[in-house]
Amino acid sequence: MVNYSIMLTSRLPAQPKTRDAERSRAVILSAALEEFALFGLSGARIDRIAERSNLNKRLIYYYFADKDQLFQAVLEAAYEKIRESEKKLNLQALQPSAAIRKLVEFTWTYYLENPEFLTLLNSANLHKARHIEESFNARALNSPLIELLGEILEKGRVSGEFRGGIDPVQLYVSIAALSYFYLSNNSTLSVIFGRDLMTPKSQSERLSHMCELILGYVLRN
Amino acid sequence: MVNYSIMLTSRLPAQPKTRDAERSRAVILSAALEEFALFGLSGARIDRIAERSNLNKRLIYYYFADKDQLFQAVLEAAYEKIRESEKKLNLQALQPSAAIRKLVEFTWTYYLENPEFLTLLNSANLHKARHIEESFNARALNSPLIELLGEILEKGRVSGEFRGGIDPVQLYVSIAALSYFYLSNNSTLSVIFGRDLMTPKSQSERLSHMCELILGYVLRN
Amino acid sequence: MVNYSIMLTSRLPAQPKTRDAERSRAVILSAALEEFALFGLSGARIDRIAERSNLNKRLIYYYFADKDQLFQAVLEAAYEKIRESEKKLNLQALQPSAAIRKLVEFTWTYYLENPEFLTLLNSANLHKARHIEESFNARALNSPLIELLGEILEKGRVSGEFRGGIDPVQLYVSIAALSYFYLSNNSTLSVIFGRDLMTPKSQSERLSHMCELILGYVLRN
Amino acid sequence: MVNYSIMLTSRLPAQPKTRDAERSRAVILSAALEEFALFGLSGARIDRIAERSNLNKRLIYYYFADKDQLFQAVLEAAYEKIRESEKKLNLQALQPSAAIRKLVEFTWTYYLENPEFLTLLNSANLHKARHIEESFNARALNSPLIELLGEILEKGRVSGEFRGGIDPVQLYVSIAALSYFYLSNNSTLSVIFGRDLMTPKSQSERLSHMCELILGYVLRN
DNA sequence: TATGAATGAGAATTCATTCAT
DNA sequence: TATGAATGAATTCTCATTCAT
């Protein structure tokens, strides 16, 4: 059997055990994020999360009812984080085509820099989004970007720059899909195509391709 | 804890215990495919695979060394199956744009009808393609479609129909991505967007969108 | 876990599968001897015995009722073998002190050349000689050497060479003990004393010591 | 198959479940000692060790990584115990021949009263002293008796009482051997010689014989 | 708030043994 | 006589979770 303990590279430095509830909660959450990202929901181990966070296993149960709810909390935090980032995009200030390009670039960069997000979503989907559904009432997980994207598409259409009839949801899903699949399945794809898809060159080629693909479609001829 | 035994809908009908090695192996493989697809590698249970196949748990170890190698065998079988289907596509007989459209449609349909394939790949990627790498030497997992796609793109470029400079690997990945992400993450997306993405209408809208997107990009103006 | 299959160095060369009952039985017996000697009764694996003998596992059960009886058969064979060797010693032809010396040397050499015998006996004793008891009625396991040794001691006493009052059983046990313990516990002792007890030099020193010890006791001053 | 549960005579009385780590560890260790002594390493069952100690099986793994390490801990404890006893012998205070005699008697008595020690060593040797080697760095397993024995032999030689040229290691091994073999193989020997070697009379005869043998050799007559 | 000790239910894997041919 | 297929009962070890302090 593989000993995954050696993967605990990011074990947090032993901190002075101040009795700081907020802090402990956050530390657990971030340790759990790593663990779930690396091993999925079933593969994650409460023990390792405790090790990672340099906290007692029992404390995890103090803050989170069980593994499932911990996963859910992690998932919510991940969503909140990406929503935070999206907010800062300020797409409405840009020209339609520049806005679309920026959205593609943002998506790519965000996934690239936050690969846990991808694995997390995969896990969530394996479990039929059970955890997401439960979170939905409590927190606004849905992207405000959809409306914004709709406005951008409309603005482009009116100006004659964009083709009409584009469903913002479909486009949004497609933009996510192009980055997501490439990065999430990168290791499989690299083996299958016999080339490293994560070299800087490959990465920039992918980004170009995606921009061309999306803009080639959106732009009226 | 959830009792997943109730999900054993597809328990195979108790067959006459023929002492047929090939058969037993195949039955185990197909039961394992279901199980791994439903729960991922870590979440899958050997016990349930035995139940599903109406065979003795011990027999699984008789044919497959351990869970990991069983997973690998399942993965290989899944790849072989999709490669088989691809072979029947006969894209070379079509006009370039028709060929591209057919490839998009095929991808969509295949994933739709073989959802296990998606979950399986997700699992494989969670484990960093370890299993795929190990299989790669033994079996041709890589798609022969890449070369064919290259030829199609070239033919279209020469005839002036297609734009030039398209990397077939990038395009192939993108075509897969568009279907894969939508279907694999469907449950999460459905919750987030507050609409069922799997109704017939949604499905056909998605297929149209993908065709437009890919062809809008490939076709010169 | 340790993979002991690599220890199957002495796997017999694949023989033409003649339907030779006697031969098969013998092959199994010798494979089992090795296996039991290496791993003890509990540690031995029927599977490995089958591998070792290049025969089907089922055949083992054809010839021997179960693991226990196989062990017993192995034990009996080992006893018969040492009794065979003892018979050839021809101690009665020697002078008393020469005979004693020869017995010490024989014991040492036999154990040295047949280390399986030691481990086998250890196993038998761990199981409280259950297997030996069962064999006893059927076969003459007891050494005819005891009587002979009694005669030798008496001859030596009469001639004034040996001291009197020596119980041949005690002496026999002691002679065996001195070689047995050294060889059977050699690995532990080597570690404890920090010196390799199996070098040629160590071996000859041990033999000298044992001869001196036994003769020093037996001989009248 | 034999039901060994009935051999659990020494199941410890259900103690008040004190949450005492040291205590639990010790209880497990002593239960494991019994189990390993009775069945050897391979034959021992973790389940039975749990039963014996009236503790949860899981706790065994909490304190000891696995069966192998548990065995190692047991072995170390056994060595420490005998070394403790040896320390109390105070041989240096005795006359040379009295000291030798006392060492023989001590060895006999210790093995007689701690038969687990013998089986344990047998097991350790079956496994090629793997466990002892691993312990050796950490703990002083080697007997301080060797040096002392050397001094005693020298003292006896100088006084003209003992013969010269005796290697203390050889003598020590021989003294151990004489008791060890008799006791460890007692059941086999009893069957073979057709007499019970463990009656009080047999025992005292054995002890006499060993003393005569060793002293007969050591003393310059 | 924090933690080490303890546990029951499981989960992968092993093993001797039997079945069917 | 020989063998590959099949199995039930263990057996080691794991995991989420709770107890007691």
C26 in Cβ contact with C70 (< 8 Å): no
Contacts of C133 (CB under 8 A, 6+ apart): D191
Per-residue pLDDT of chain A (221 residues; tens, 9 = 90+): 455 554 555 555 544 444 577 889 999 999 999 999 999 999 999 999 999 999 999 999 999 999 999 999 999 999 999 999 998 999 999 999 999 999 999 999 999 999 999 999 999 999 986 777 777 654 556 678 899 999 999 999 999 999 999 999 999 999 999 999 999 999 999 888 888 999 999 999 999 999 999 999 999 86
pLDDT classification of D177: cutoffs 50, 70, 90: very high
What is the rounded radius of gyration, in angstroms, for the C-alpha atoms of chain C?
Answer: 20
pLDDT at B33: 97
* CB-proximal positions of chain E, under 7 Å: 1-21
CA distance C151 to C154: 5
Task: Produce one character per residue of A54-77: b if its CB has 16 or more CB atoms within 10 Å, e if not.
Answer: ebeeeebeebbeebbebbbbbbbb
User: Can you tell me which residue has the tokens 């790669």?
Assistant: B136
Does the beta carbon of D26 lie under 8 angstroms from any beta carbon of chain C? no
What is the rounded radius of gyration, in angstroms, for the C-alpha atoms of chain B?
Answer: 20
The greatest distance separating any two alpha carbons of chain A, rounded to the nearest whole angstrom, comes to 62
Question: What DSSP letter does each residue of chain D carry, written as one string?
Answer: ---GGGGGGGPPP-------HHHHHHHHHHHHHHHHHHHHHHH--HHHHHHHHTS-HHHHHHHSSSHHHHHHHHHHHHHHHHHHHHHTT-GGGS-HHHHHHHHHHHHHHHHHH-HHHHHHHHHHHHTTTHHHHHHHTTS--S-THHHHHHHHHHHHHHTTSB-S---HHHHHHHHHHHHHHHHHTHHHHHHHHTS-TTSHHHHHHHHHHHHHHHHHHHB--
pLDDT classification of D15: cutoffs 50, 70, 90: very low
User: Can you tell me which residue has the tokens 């530390």?
Assistant: A27
Residues in chain B where the model's pLDDT stays below 70: 1-19, 129, 136-141, 221
Which is nearest to C75 in space by CA: C40, C107, C104?
Answer: C40
pLDDT at D181: 98
Burial of A36 (0-12, 13-18, 19+ CB in 10 A): buried
> Which CATH architecture fits A74-218?
Orthogonal Bundle (1.10)
Across the interface, whether the CB atoms of A142 and B193 are under 8 A apart is answered yes
* Among B178, B188, B210, beta carbon nearest to A125: B188
Q: What digits encode the pLDDT tens for the residues D76-90?
A: 999 999 999 998 999
* Among A141, A184, A217, beta carbon nearest to B216: A217
* Among D40, D177, D214, beta carbon nearest to C42: D40
Q: Is the pTM of the predicted complex or chain greater than 0.75? A: yes
Mutate which of C66, C166, C181, C219 to test chain D, going by most D C-beta atoms within 10 A?
C181
Touching status, chains D and B (3+ beta-carbon pairs under 8 Å): no
Q: What digits encode the pLDDT tens for the residues D116-149?
A: 999 999 999 999 867 877 776 545 567 788 999 9
pLDDT surpasses 80 at D44:
yes
Burial of C199 (0-12, 13-18, 19+ CB in 10 A): exposed
CA distance C127 to C41: 9
pLDDT at C3: 57
pLDDT at C42: 96
CA distance D189 to C127: 13
CA distance D28 to D83: 21
Helix axes A21-43 and A46-53, enclosed angle (nearest 10):
140
Residues in chain C where the model's pLDDT stays below 50: 1, 14-17, 138
Distances (CA, A) of A20 to A15, A16, A24, A70: 11, 10, 6, 19
Distances (CA, A) of C54 to A24, C15, C29, C30, C46: 61, 8, 12, 12, 12
CA closest to F7 C1', residue: B56
Question: What DSSP letter does each residue of D115-175 carry, written as one string?
Answer: HHHHHHHHHHHHTTTHHHHHHHTTS--S-THHHHHHHHHHHHHHTTSB-S---HHHHHHHH
Which is nearest to A77 in space by CA: A38, A28, A146, A20?
Answer: A28
Q: Which residues, numbered 69 to 88 in chain C, qualify as contacts with chain D under a Cβ-Cβ cut-off of 8 Å?
A: none
Distances (CA, A) of C192 to C90, C99, C196, D173: 38, 34, 10, 11
pLDDT at A134: 72
DSSP β-bridge partners for residue B162: B219
Amino acid A86 reads E
Mutate which of A128, A162, A181, A206 to test chain B, going by most B C-beta atoms within 10 A?
A181
CA distance A113 to D21: 45
* Among B136, B181, B210, beta carbon nearest to A181: B181
Does the beta carbon of B33 lie under 8 angstroms from any beta carbon of chain A? no
Residue C176: list chain D partners with CB under 8 A.
Answer: 181
Three-state secondary structure call for residue C162 = strand
Touching status, chains C and D (3+ beta-carbon pairs under 8 Å): yes
Extents of the domains making up chain C: 4-65, 74-218
Phi, psi of D162 (to 5 degrees): -100, 155
CATH topology of domain D4-65: Arc Repressor Mutant, subunit A (1.10.10)
User: Can you tell me which residue has the tokens 């997973």?
Assistant: B71
* Among A167, A182, A187, beta carbon nearest to B128: A187
CA distance A178 to A105: 11
Which is nearest to C216 in space by CA: D156, D105, D163?
Answer: D163
Across the interface, whether the CB atoms of D182 and C177 are under 8 A apart is answered yes
Does the beta carbon of C41 lie under 8 angstroms from any beta carbon of chain D? yes
Which spans in chain B are helix H? 21-43, 46-53, 57-63, 67-87, 96-113, 115-126, 130-136, 145-158, 168-184, 186-193, 200-218
Strand E-proximal residues of C, range 47-86, CB below 7 A, are 47, 57-58, 61, 66-68
Which is nearest to B4 in space by CA: D200, A59, A189, A128?
Answer: A128
Q: Is the CB of B19 under 7 A from strand E?
A: yes
Amino acid C123 reads S
Q: Give the torsion through C-alpha atoms of A95, A96, A97, A101, to 10 deg.
A: 90
Q: Which residues, numbered 200 to 219 in chain C, qualify as contacts with chain D under a Cβ-Cβ cut-off of 8 Å?
A: 205-206, 209-210, 212-214, 216-217
Which is nearest to C121 in space by CA: C186, C187, C28, C37?
Answer: C37
Amino acid A176 reads A
CA distance D63 to D87: 29
pLDDT at B194: 86
CA distance D149 to D168: 6
Across the interface, whether the CB atoms of A216 and B217 are under 8 A apart is answered yes
Residue A169: list chain B partners with CB under 8 A.
Answer: 193, 195
Task: Produce one character per residue of A204-216: b if its CB has 16 or more CB atoms within 10 Å, e if not.
Answer: eebbebbbbbbbb
Residue B188: list chain A partners with CB under 8 A.
Answer: 121, 124-125, 129, 132
Strand E-proximal residues of A, range 18-77, CB below 7 A, are 18-21, 24, 55-59, 62
Q: Give the torsion through C-alpha atoms of D132, D133, D139, D144, to 10 deg.
A: 80
Q: Count CA atoms within 13 Å of residue B32 on its CB side.
A: 29
